[in-house]
Amino acid sequence: MNDKRDVMYKDLMINILRIICIFSVVISLDSCAAVEQSEDKDSMNKVVKTDAEWQEVLTEEQFYVTRKAGTERAFSGEYWNHKEKGLYACVCCGSELFRSDAKFDSGCGWPSYFEPVAEGVITERRDFSHGMIRTEVICTRCDAHLGHVFRDGPPPTGLRYCINSASIRFCHLAENRNVE
């Protein structure tokens, strides 16, 4: 009799554990979905302004480069030879784009990086201007023209993001609390 009770008790415990397991899986799946949703929302947080509004907050050169897909002269920008540790953010919307530890000396006269700070912060677009086929890179959040990406970069990515200094703003790591 006691044995039978024991078996029933064990069965009951196993069933309870199963239910707890199923619940915890459902809960963790739910929280993943919530995180994904909020990330989606963040990336959709587009910044849209008229030319006149951009002109109010940008210098003439920043406006020409970022909003009219211009290019600054090689070796003329603020950051081609800039070596401080920190982050480079979009000059238009402040979206973080590149880390200083992904910057390398390409010798081309524009700041060059082998990867962006995170997937999705930069959008690529085919550019057929000036009789060339290139890949333009723009800020995902505000569509600012940043420069181009080429496949002649160093390891680990083999990419060279050739970026106009006029499209970015440097900030020291200490000023940015989001960075580990």
Residues 92-111 binding Zn ion (CB under 5 A) are 92-93, 95
Cα–Cα distance, 177 to 175 (Å, whole number): 6
What's the closest the beta carbon of residue 21 comes to Zn ion, in angstroms?
Answer: 45
* Neighbouring-strand partners of residue 100: none
What's the closest the beta carbon of residue 42 comes to Zn ion, in angstroms?
Answer: 14
92 is catalytic: no
* Neighbouring-strand partners of residue 134: 127
Coil, strand or helix at 123: strand
- Comparing CB distances to Zn ion, the nearer of 67 and 141 is 141
- Comparing CB distances to Zn ion, the nearer of 22 and 136 is 136
- Nearest alpha-carbon partner for 55 in 42, 45, 68, 46: 68
- Among 90, 139, 142, 162, which one carries the catalytic annotation? 162
Residues 132-171 binding Zn ion (CB under 5 A) are 139, 141-142, 144
- Nearest alpha-carbon partner for 83 in 178, 170, 177, 180: 170
Q: Rule CB under 5 A: choose which of 65, 87, 89, 90 binds Zn ion.
A: 90
Q: Which amino acid is at 29?
A: L
Applying CB under 5 A, the residues found at the interface with Zn ion are 90, 92-93, 95, 139, 141-142, 144
